[in-house]
Structure 1
Amino acid sequence: MKGIKLICICCILGMTGIHGVSAQSEDNLLNILSGELNKHYRELQGEKLPPYYMNYRIIDTWSTTIITSFGALRDNQSRHTRIMIPHIRLGDTTLDNYKYYPMGSEVTEFGISSAVLPIDDGNNEDAIRQEIWMEASSRYAFAVDIYERTKAQTKVNVKNEDKAPYFSAAPVESYYEAPFPADRLKVDAEAWIARLKKISALFNENMNIMQGDATLTYDVERRYFVDTEGRSVVQNLPYARVMIQGNVMALDGMRLPLYLSYFAHDPADLPSDEQMMADTREMIKTLAALREAPVADPYTGPALLSGAASGVFFHEIFGHRLEGQRMKTDEDGQTFKQMVGENVLAPDFQVSDDPTLTSYAGKELNGHYKFDDQGIRAERVNVVVDGKLRDFLMSRVPIDGFPKTNGHARASDGFDPVSRQSNLCIETKAPKTQQKLRAMLIEEAKKQNKEYGYFFKEVTSGLTYTGTSSTNSFNVTPLVVYRVYTDGRPDELVRGVILIGTPLSMFSNIVCAGDDPSVFVGICGAESGGVQVTAISPTILVNKVETQRTAKSSVLPPVLPRVYVPQK
C-alpha cells in the first residue's frame, strides 16, 4: 500500500542568507538542539559502529481543533506539543542501516517513538537535553541492530538491485525564520464556535442526515533541523482548514458521506460564512438525492473525471509511483523506473510537483514548504514534459540515474523522511471546454455501444499498492457519480461506485483534459506519516475506466427517528 515502504561527504555550494541572525542566536531551542547533536555525534565516534551522519529535528506545534455537530459544540481543544526525532546513519553511503528499513525506530501498532520535549523553555534546559539524549540513545541501539541485520541480508540478496548509494551529497544551507507572534498561534475560539455552530445547524433541515459536522483545525508548526554536515533550518508552516461533513444512509444500509474543505495559511483568509453556508445547503440537497439514487452496476467504458476527482486519481495512481525512494529495492513495484524518456501520458500533458508554490488558480496550497525534512531547499520538479517521463521526486536516497535530491523528503510525527509528493500539478497545452469534453464523452460511449458514460464529480480518497508483494493496482472511492446518457436523457445520479484498475492501463486510456483547473487539498498517509499535500488538475476524459459495486452493507437504517432540538 502507499507505504512500502563521511566520514562526512559534504557538497558545499554556498551558504544562503540567514533570516534574522540576531533572533537566531537567541533561539534557545535551536541552540540546545544544535549543541546536543554535536556533542552526541562526537561521543558516538568512540563506539565500535560510529555514525557517519546524524540529524536532529524538532516539530513544535500549536494546534486548535473546534468541532460542532448539528449546531452544537462537540469539541474545543488547544494544544502545544513539541517532539524531537533523531536520525542516525551507520556504515557508509554504499551500505547503511537504512537499506531495507526506512525508519530509524521500530514502527508498532501504537506508532513510532519520538522524544516528547517540555514546552516551557525557561528553567527546563536539562529536562529537554535529557529527553533528547534518551531518544538518541534508543535510536542508536536500534540502528546498530538493523545495520547488523542489513549486512547479513545483503549477502543473500538478488544481484539486480539498484546500484546507487544509500545517501547522496547535497548542498549545505542555513535558513532561519523568526517565531510567529503570539496572536498568530491561536484563533478567536468563541467567534469560530459561533460560526461553526451556524454552519452545522443547517444539517437539521433534513432529518435523514445522520452526521452533520463543521470542523476547524489550525496548526502552526515550527520545524527545526540541524545536521552534522552543517545545515541549520528553522521554518514556520501554518495550516488553517474548515471541513464540513454530512452523511446519510440509504434504505439498504449504504452509508453515503459528502465533504467540503476550505484551506488557507491564515484563518482570516478562510471563506465567509455566507459562502460556506451556501455550499453546505447544496451538499444537503445532494445528500437527499444520493439517498434515493439507484446503486450502480459494474461498468467498463468512457468517463469524465472532474478536476477534484482527477486530482486524487493522479495523486494516488501516478504521484506515488514518482516517489524515487520507492524504487530502491526489488520489493518495490518500480512501475515507471525503466520508462524515463518514454511517453506515459498524451503529448499535451505536463506534470510537475512544486513545493515552492503557495497558491494556484486563486486557491492556497498546503503542500508548500521552503526546505524539506532533510534540510534541503525545495525545488519544482517537472516529472512529465510533453507526455514524456523525465524525472522523479527525490530525497537524499538516490536511485540509478538519479543521484541527487530535489527537496522532496518529508515526514510527520516521529517518522524518518522519505520522498513524498507536495503540490502535484497536472496541466495541458491543449485544453478543451466543458461542452466539448461532454460531447466527446457521449461520442466515445456511442462508439463503444454504451448506453451511457460516467461523470465522476467528487471523490473522497483512494489507496494504491506499489510493492511487489501485492497487485500493482489502485482503488479510488467516488462520492458523486452521474450517468451521462447518449440518447439525451437527463444525467442520473448513482451510488455505490468504486473506481479500480492498474496504473499503466489507466494512463494509456487518458484522451485529453479541460480548461478548468481544480485544487484538492488533503493529508496523505504513507510510511513516513501524514503529510500535507495538494493535487491540482483539470477535468480529464478517459476512454475506458473500470468500476465495481461497493460491498453490500450489513448495517440496517435506524428504526427510531433522529431527535432534533432547535438551538435557542
Structure 2
Amino acid sequence: MLLSCLWLLVGSSAHAEAPSADDVLASMRAALAEAMGTLAAATEPAYAASYAVVDHRGLTIQGSHGAHAGLVPEHYRHVDVDVRVGSMALDSTHKIRDEGFFSETPRDSYFVGFEGPLDPLRRLLLRGTDDAYRQARARLVKVRSNEVVKVAREDTSADYSLAPAVTRRELPGPVAIDNAAWQKLTREVSAIYLEYPEVYDSAVQLVVTEDDRWFVNNEGTSVLDGYRHVRIATWGETVAEDGMSLSVYDYVDVADVAHLPDRARIEAMVRQVAGRVVALRHAPLVDPWTGPAILRGRAAGVFFHEIFGHRVEGHRQKDEDEGQTFTQRVGQPILPAFLSVVDDPTIARLGSEDLNGHYAVDDEGVAAERVSLVERGILRNFLMSRAPIEGFGRSNGHGRRQPGNAVVARQGNLMVQADGVVPYAELHKRLVDEIKRQKKPFGLVFDDISGGFTFTGRSTPNSFVVSPVTVWRVYPDGRPDELVRGVDLIGTPLTTFARILAAGGDTEVFNGVCGAESGWVPVSASSPSLLVQEVEVQRREKGNDRPPLLPAPGGAQ
C-alpha cells in the first residue's frame, strides 16, 4: 500500500516536559470539536470523524552463534485521521466498482512527537482533518457517479453504523526489561547452536512491544489504553543436500514479563529447534498425495484462521469482487455438528497462555464482543466493523487496523471448540483405521504450521496454501511415525470442512500476526487436534544451491 507521510516533531528541546496522557486526549477532543464544528456546516458536510494516536515503543535483543547480535530500539508516534462525507447510507468510503487498487488516492500518514507543548499536535490534527475531508469529498463524487453507471448492487446495506459511546482509561504500565541480563542470556543460549554444525544459521531473540493508544470520535467515544507484548523466540536454518532451505521457528508470547519462561525452558526450546532442523535435513521428501491426516492443535488453529476466519470477515460478504463463500449460508451447516467456532477478543488468556488477539475496544471505538460464528456446525454470524452488511446492521467490535491503514473487519481470538472429543492416542488410532479403510500406504500428521495464505476473491481460485513445519508419516502396519519434509497443504474450504471426522481433547494456541487489507494486526487461533478424512499436499518450492562448501569454524570437517 502506498502511503504519503508527514513528519512533525513537536518540541525540540531536550528539557521540554512531555504532556500527560490525559492532556493529549483533551487536546485531541478539542481539535475534533473545532474541526467538526466547521465541517458539519459545509455544503457537503462531514458526518463522522475520528482521531487515533499510537505511541509505539519497541526493543529487539538478539544473540547469534554465541555473540551479541544487536540491540535495536524503535520509537514513533503515529496519527490516523478518518473523515466520512455523505451519509450513512452512501458515503465517501463506499467501494468504487471496477476501479483498480492503484487508482485510489494514497492515504495520508502522520507522525508526531510529544516532547513539548501540544499546540503542534492540535495543528497537525486540524491540517490532517482538512486533507482527509478534501479527499473524502472528491471521492464521494466518484462514488455517486459509479453508482449511476453500474448495475444495482447486490447488497444495498448502508456504509456506516452508529455505536454507543465508549469511555475507557486503562493504560498499562511499562514493560520492565533488564537489557543487560537479556543480552547475556540471548548471547549465551545462542551458543547452543554451535553444538549442531548442520544448523547453518540461527538466533535467539527477545522482542518487546509497547503501544499506547489515544482514540476520540464525534460520537463522544474517548479511549486511552495500550497493548503490551513480549516474545522470546529462536530459529534455526539449514539446507538439505537437494537444495531445499529448511527452517524451524519456536517462540513464547506473553503480555506480562512475569509469564516469560525461565532460562532452562529457553535452553530446552533451542535444543528442540536445533534437533528438529538436523532431523529435517535428513528426512525424506513426500510426493504429491491425498489421504487422511491429523492437524494437531496449533496447526488446526492456523488452518481455521486462514481458511475459515478470513471468509467470515464482514466486508467480504458485501464486496462483489469477493468469492463470498459463506454469504448466503447463514443458518445452514458449514461444519460437522460437533464443531463450533467463536471469536472473542475480550479473553486475555486461555489456560496458561496469553492471547495476542485480546483487546477491549476496536480501532473504530466500538467495544469488543464475543461473536458466536458457528454453533454446532451452523453458521450464525460474521465478524463486523461499522460497515453493515445485509442482515447484520451493526459492529460487533472487530474493526481493526495497523496504524496508517483504513479499518476493515478482522479476526481477534479465533477459537474452535468441539463436542465429543477423544484423547489424542485414540485420535491417532482412528487415523490408522482410516488409512486401512482407504487402503492408503500412509497418512500424515501435521504437528505445526508456520503460516499460509488463502485466496478469497472471484478472480482467483478460491483455494488455500498452508505451510507445515513438522509433518509425520503414519504407517498402518505399526512402524514408528516418520518425520518427512517438503510438502504444502492445499485445497478448497468447503470440501475440506466437510471431511473433518473427529476432534481430540488437546486444545493448543497459535499466537501471531495476520496481514490483510488493513495491515498487520496481532491475532490468536486455538483448536483441538482434528482428524480429516482427506487432505491434499503438493511439493514445496525449493532452491537449487548446494549446502555451504566450507564447514563452520570448529564444526565437523
TM-score bucket of the superposed structures, by smaller chain: over 0.9
The CA deviation string for residues 488-546 of structure 1, in whole angstroms up to 9 with x for no partner, is 11211111100011110110111111000001000001111110100011110000101
| Counterpart position of 2:382 | 392
**Partner residue in 2 for 1:144:** 137
User: Paired residue for 2:438?
Assistant: 448
In 2, Cα distance between equivalents of 1:559 and 1:269: 42
Which residue among 506, 517, 525 is the counterpart of 1:516? 506
Cα deviation, 1:372-423, whole Å, max 9, x if unaligned, reads 1111111101111111111111111110011111111111121122110000
Q: TM-score, normalised by structure 2?
A: 0.92
Change beyond 3 A, Cα 1:477–1:112: farther
CA contact (8 A) 2:231 2:253 kept: yes
Check conservation: 2:47, 2:84, Cα contact below 8 A: yes
Letter paired with 2:77 = R
Name whichever of 68-77 and 450-459 sits farther off.
68-77
Does residue 1:93 correspond to 2:88, yes or no? yes
State which of 162, 179, 199 in structure 2 corresponds to 1:169: 162
Which residue is equivalent to 1:135?
Answer: 128
SS at match of 2:200: strand
| Residue 438 of structure 1, CA deviation | 0.9
Instruction: Give the AA of the match of 1:162.
Output: D
How far residue 434 of structure 1 moved from its aligned partner, in angstroms, is 1.0
Contact 2:172 2:225 in 1 (8 A): no
Q: 2:204 aligns with which of 202, 214, 229?
A: 214
Alpha-carbon distance, 1:269 to partner: 1.6
**Match of 2:303, SS?**
helix
Deviation at 1:163, TM superposition (A): 1.4
Q: 1:128 to 1:217 in 2, by over 3 A?
A: same
- How far apart are residue 135 of structure 1 and its match? 2.8
- What aligned pairs does 1:360-439 form with structure 2 within 5 A after superposition? 360-439=350-429
Of residues 156, 178, 186, the one that matches 1:188 is: 178
Residue pair 2:172, 2:227 contacting (<8 A) in 1 also: no
Q: Shift of residue 160 of structure 1?
A: 4.5
Q: How does 1:85-484 map to 2 (within 5 A)?
A: 85-100=80-95, 113-120=108-115, 122-123=116-117, 125-177=118-170, 179-181=171-173, 184-484=174-474
Residues 162/57 of structure 1: CA separation in 2 closer, same or farther (3 Å cut): same
Give the TM-score taking structure 1 as reference length: 0.90
Equivalent position amino acid for 2:82 in 1 = H
Q: Give 1:224's aligned amino acid.
A: W
- What letter corresponds to residue 63 of structure 1 in structure 2? G
Give the count of matched residue pairs.
534
Asked if the contact 1:164–1:399 (Cα under 8 Å) also holds between the matched residues in 2, the reply is yes
Aligned twin of 2:47: 52
The separation in 1 between residues aligned to 2:554 and 2:176, in whole angstroms, is 32
Deviations along 1:158-179, one digit per CA (max 9) or x if unpaired, are 32421111101211221112x4
Runs of 4+, deviation exceeding 4 Å: 106-112
- Structure 1 residues 433, 414: closer, same or farther in 2, change over 3 A? same
Secondary structure of the residue aligned to 1:279 is: helix
Q: 1:49 to 1:561 in 2, by over 3 A?
A: farther
- Of 47-56 and 350-359, deviating more is 47-56
* Structure 2 counterpart of 1:74, one-letter code: A
> Structure 1 residues 230 and 342, CA, compared in 2 at 3 Å: closer, same or farther?
same
Contact 1:238 1:266 in 2 (8 A): yes
Query: RMSD across aligned C-alpha pairs, in angstroms?
Result: 2.1
Equivalent residue, structure 2, for 1:16: none
Contact 1:245/1:260 (8 A) holds in 2 = yes
Q: Cα gap change, 1:207/1:150 in structure 2, threshold over 3 Å: closer, same or farther?
A: same
Secondary structure at the counterpart of residue 114 of structure 1? strand
Letter in 2 for 1:250: A
**Alignment equivalent of 1:68, drawn from 52, 63, 71:** 63
Q: CA deviation at 1:425?
A: 0.5
Q: Assess, with a 3 A threshold, how the Cα gap between structure 1 residues 110 and 38 changes in structure 2: closer, same or farther.
A: closer
- State the 1:72 CA deviation: 1.7
CA contact (8 A) 1:382 1:391 kept: yes
Say whether the 8 Å CA contact 2:400–2:518 is kept in structure 1.
yes
Corresponding residue of 2:535:
545
Q: Per-residue deviation at 1:112? A: 5.3
State the identity %. 39
1:357 is paired with a residue of what secondary structure? Answer: coil
